[in-house]
Each structure stands twice: as C-alpha cells, then as structure tokens.
Amino acid sequence: MTERPFVEIDHVWMRYGGTGGTLALRDASLTVDRQEFVAVVGPSGCGKSTLMRLVTGLWPTSSGAVIVAGKEVDRPLSIAGMAFQNPTLLPWRTIMDNIMLPLEVVTPHSSRLRRHRKDYEAQVHELLELVGLKGFDQKNPWQLSGGMQQRASLCRALIHQPELLMLDEPFAALDVFTREDLWGVLQNLWMARRPTVILVTHDLREAVFLADRVLVMTARPGRIMLEKTIDLPRPRTIEMTYTPHFQGMVQELREYIDEARRGEEVADAA
Amino acid sequence: MQRNVTVAAAAAGASSVTPLPTAGDAAFRRDNTVVRRDLEPIREPNSERDAELVAAGIRRKRLIAVLPWSLFVVLLVVWEALARGLNIPEFVLPAPTVIAQSLVTWWDPIVENALQTLKTTLIGFALANILGMTLGVLVGSSLLVYHSLYPMLIAFNSIPKVAVVPILVIWFGVGTAPAIVTSFLISFFPITVNVAAGIATVEPELRDVLRALGAHPLNIVRKVGLPRAMPYYFASLKIAITSSFLGSILAETVAGQKGIGHLMIVASSRFEVPLVFAGLIVTAVMSVTMYTIATVIERRTIGWATRSQNDAGSAPGH
C-alpha cells in the first residue's frame, strides 16, 4: 500500500489528571487505511474509548501524534460521525429531526439546510430505509425500542456523510438477536457508503463479523498487542458465524485477550 | 434468499472443513425433544374479566379526580363543626362560614389589595425568570462561572429575606418596590439552580457526538442544553411562583401600604381575624391558580418529558 493511511496514531501516550494520574495509553501506535473497517478489542478498561476520543480530537494526547487525513489533530475533527452504547436521541425531537441534528451544526450543511431541506430529508429517508426504519421518521424516540433507537443513532452518525465513523460499543446494550440484526445493518451501511470505521467493542464475534482487521489491545496502560486480518468474503452472514473457520478466529482472539489479561495480573502483582 | 446463496458460497469456499449442521437440517429435528404447541387450537380469552379491569381503571381515575375536592369539603365541615361546637371565639379561629361572610363584606378592598399583590409578585417573578435563566445557563455551561459564582449564590440564598426588607425600604422607600424586589430575590435561586442542573447534565456522549462535528459550545447549549433543561426549569417554576408570593407578602407585611399582606396586618391589629383568614384564603387561591397555569404550560410545551409517566399512570393498580 503506497497511499498514506487515513488515520495514524503515532507513539501516543495518554495520562489523566496530571503526573500522578492514571496512565491509559502507553506508546500506542496504529494505522487505519481509508475506507477500512477496523475493530479494536481488549480487556475492559484498556483504553479503547480513550483511543476514540483521541482520534476525534476531543482530548489532546499527553505525548505522540494523532494524524487524520494527513493533518495532525489538535482540535475536534468536525468530519467524524460518532455513535455510542447509549443512543442519546433527543426526546423532544422526532426521529427525522434527531437525524438532522448534525446538519444543523456542521459548517457546510448548516447554512444550506433551510433552502435545501427537501434534499436533506430525502437523504434521511434513504438512510432510514437502509437501516430498516422506513416510515418511522415522524415518531418520537420513546416510541421506538432500544434496537430501533440505536438504528436511528447510526443514521445520525452518518447523515453528514462523514469520512470517519467512530463507534464505541454501539450494540453492547442490545439483546443478542437485535445485535446480530444490526451487524447486518452496519455492514450494509458501510458497503453502501464506505466510510473509514473504527469500532470499539468487547464482543469478539462482532469484531470478526464486521471488521477487515481486528486490533487487540493489552490491559491498561493500553498498547496495541497485535492485529489480525479477517479474510471472510462480504457480505458476511449470520450463518457464517457458525462455521468452524469463523469460530476458530473468535477462539484465537479470545486466547490473545486472555494473554493480555494475564499480563495485567502480572503488572498488578509487581 | 440472499442469505442462503452466500452461505452456500461460504461453504464452498471453505471446502476442507465440514460445516456445522443448521436448524434446518434433518439432524436437528428430533421429534422426541420438540413438542409443537403452536399447532393447538386457540381458546378465546375471558372478555368479562377484561371489561371488569377496564371498568375498575375508569372508576379509579374518577376517584382520583374527586378525592382532593371531597377531602377539602370534609375539612371545612369538621372545621365548622369544631368552631361552633366548642364555641371557639371568632378572634381565635373563625368558622368557614364567618370567613366567607367577611370575604363578601370586604370584597372590594380584598380584590384591590389582592391585585396589588398579584402585580408585585408577577413583576418580581418575571425578573427572577430572566436573571435565573441567564445565570442558570452561565453556571450550567461553564465550569469557570460555576466555580466562581456558585459559593456566592448559595451564601446569598441562605440570607433570611425578612432581614433584607428593612434595607430595601431604606433604598426604595415604603411601597411597591420592596415587594417586587423581595419577590424577585426569593424566587430566582431555584430557577438558577435547576436550569444549571439541566444544562450541566447533558450526556457526555451526546456532547462528544456534537463536538466531533465541530459544533460550537454555544450551539450545543442552544440545541441540546436549553431544551433539556426545560423540565428542570418548569419544576423550579412551581417552587418559584409560590415563593414569589411569599416574598411579596412578606415585604407588604413588614413595610407596605398596599397589598394582601398589608391588609392582613391591619386586620389583625383590629382583631378582624375573619378578614385575616379571608386574606390567607385569597392568597392561597392566587398561588394555586398560578401553579396550575405553570403546570398547564409545562404539559403543553414539554409533554415529551412527562410522557412515559402518563403512560404508566393509566395502568390499573398504579
């Protein structure tokens, strides 16, 4: 690959609360190519979410550089879409207006929104159809189930056509059936729009199902322990997750995570 | 359809491994472990019981609507009976009928003074809304403002307002102004605290979502913080409007020439105790009316915040 990676995290250190504070990341480095789908897994508290906030420029690094699209990140990015475990839809807005929210604050769109409202509404309808929420645009968030709210949250993260999509355990609060449905939804969205995606998750099946490449982090202070390329063809299906090949990959990742956690115990004992 | 095709493709791709059996395979259909219950005929539900539950729900709603009024009537009757039965002197505890009579006799001065109190209260309350809202937004959206202003606000709020009234009289003279200022001083604090709480507790994830879009902090307050603070704001209005009345009547009692507080002080100095009670009742009525108006506006504007509670309230047994 000769093209420069879209996201580069270069020997980044991150410490909270001054010199005596918690060290969340220790010399973490990774790269993500443009239009790649990367999943980050690791033991709980290993700094996965910290990584997300550093990439989007929400927090400054203690040391080292974060480079996105060739430019060093020193302020919030303004091109990233984000979705979290909690869908955080605004209860006083309809689903349509919730999804439009980013357009009201992003610079190129906010000034055009009033004149081109019909075009933008059409885009929302298109996204809603992609995630299986067609016809729900005038509903209020509380009228939707948790899984449907999370679908809407994904639409909100994608409406301004971000180049970078950051997902922090977006499906962790959902039941297994809904979660597996939404894997398919997310895969469809990614294949249709091809944003660069960084997905933080603790669900190894989810990581293998969705990602081109899985990065495993060590226990805190986090570092990238290894990366594994997932060679499954797309579109991937739930049936594939029952094949020995898929389960073998999950098993392998699981062993790395165990190794990472054992490292943590050693560090605690020392 | 598409699923099956891709499964076949995946299976073909990994030809060296035997695929696991799926639920559709014959190997999984073991009839001795599976009993199909969905093939049995459906028995109709007990509609009588259903209707009974609905009727019980309606009866309960009616009871809830009637209860406060009937309790009020019972209280009046007991009061009347006690006052008359025990021969309690009028200047100690007048009976409800005596109070009503006094209300009729003194109707004109009561209305005039009540309107004065209403006016000072509402002006003070309006000022409290403006300042309370502004301070609330500032305190809630900036940690710097919060840390520099909050201790002072708390200290100020703990000052007994009755001690402030004489100072206000020195500054503004006896009359309308001290009542307005007291009403304002006593009611802006709850508004400030509540609006600040609403804005400060915006979900950090949502804040991140918007910041990662390059949203200006002011924009976040406008689009998310303020609407989110509205339920808190209305909750504080209910407290603020009643304490607003408290403030203006307090000032009228200490140093007023007009107003329901002044009327009550004059009446008690003349041992016109039924008139004092009439004044109390008029105050209560005004206060409840304003509270109700606040509640109606609240329901109209932020139905989204009380929605789930309303839904739960209609279920039987709640």
Fold classification of B95-313 is MetI-like fold (1.10.3720)
Residue contact B209–A157, C-beta within 8 A: yes
Is A19 touching B (CB cutoff 8 A)? no
Q: Are the beta carbons of B202 and B219 closer than 8 angstroms?
A: no
* Domains of chain A (ranges, CATH numbers): 1-79+163-185+193-270 (3.40.50.300), 86-162 (no CATH)
Sign of CA dihedral B151, B155, B158, B164: negative
DSSP state of A222: B
User: What pLDDT is recorded for position B11?
Assistant: 45
Is B38 touching A (CB cutoff 8 A)? no
CA-wise closest residue to A169 among A39, A257, A57, A37:
A39
CA gap A128, A95 in Å, rounded:
10
Continuous H helices in chain A: 48-55, 95-105, 107-110, 117-130, 146-158, 176-193, 204-210, 244-269
pLDDT tens digits for A28-52? 899 999 999 999 998 887 788 888 8
**What would the DSSP string read from start to end of B205-226?**
HHHHHHHTTT--HHHHIIIIIH
Residue B301, pLDDT > 80, answer yes
User: What pLDDT is recorded for position A246?
Assistant: 95
* Nearest CB neighbour to B10, from listed A84, A106, A240: A240
Q: Tell me the backbone φ, ψ of residue A217, rounded to 5 degrees.
A: -100, 150
The series of mean pLDDT values per 10 residues for chain A, 270 residues long, is 82 82 87 95 83 88 89 84 90 93 82 85 91 91 91 91 91 89 92 93 95 91 91 92 94 92 66
User: What pLDDT is recorded for position A240?
Assistant: 93
Kindly list the strands in the beta sheet with A80-84, ordered across the sheet, starting from the edge strand earlier in the chain: A80-84, A164-168, A196-200, A37-41, A213-217, A224-229
User: What pLDDT is recorded for position B13?
Assistant: 45
Is A76 touching B (CB cutoff 8 A)? yes
For helices B47-85 and B96-105, angle between their N-to-C axes, nearest 10 degrees: 80
pLDDT tens digits for B116-166? 999 999 999 999 999 999 999 999 988 899 999 989 988 988 998 888 899
Residue with the bigger pLDDT between B73 and A53: it is: B73
Is A77 touching B (CB cutoff 8 A)? yes
Q: Measured between alpha carbons, how far is residue B314 from residues A185, B8, B59, B68, B309 in Å?
A: 36, 52, 12, 19, 9
Average pLDDT value over all residues in chain B: 85
- Which chain B residues are Cβ-neighbours of A138 within 8 angstroms? none
Residue contact A88–B205, C-beta within 8 A: yes
Is B22 touching A (CB cutoff 8 A)? yes
Residue B307, pLDDT > 90, answer no
Q: How many interface pairs between A and B have CB atoms less than 8 angstroms apart?
A: 112
pLDDT tens digits for B54-66? 999 999 999 999 9
Q: What percent of chain B stands above pLDDT 90? A: 57
- Which chain B residues are Cβ-neighbours of A77 within 8 angstroms? 212, 214
CA gap A124, A161 in Å, rounded:
11
Sign of CA dihedral B244, B245, B246, B248: positive
Is B9 touching A (CB cutoff 8 A)? yes
The nearest alpha carbon in chain B to A92 belongs to B304
* Nearest CB neighbour to B304, from listed A91, A102, A166: A91
Continuous H helices in chain B: 2-13, 47-85, 96-105, 107-141, 143-157, 161-172, 176-200, 204-211, 217-220, 226-255, 260-269, 273-301, 303-313
List, as own/partner pairs, every contact residues B81-86 make where C-beta atoms lie below 8 angstroms and the sequence separation is at least 24, other chains included.
none
Mean pLDDT in residue range B80-91: 92
Q: Residue B256's pLDDT band (boundaries 50, 70, 90)? A: confident
* Nearest CB neighbour to A88, from listed B9, B203, B214: B203
Mean pLDDT in residue range B188-213: 90
Kindly list the strands in the beta sheet with A63-68, ordered across the sheet, starting from the edge strand earlier in the chain: A23-32, A7-15, A63-68, A71-72
CA gap B85, B108 in Å, rounded:
32
* Nearest CB neighbour to B205, from listed A77, A86, A239: A86
Residue contact B205–A84, C-beta within 8 A: yes
Q: Measured between alpha carbons, how far is residue B52 from residues A256, B56, B65, B311 in Å?
A: 61, 6, 20, 20
Q: Domain segments of chain B: what residues?
A: 50-88, 95-313
* Nearest CB neighbour to B206, from listed A88, A160, A166: A88
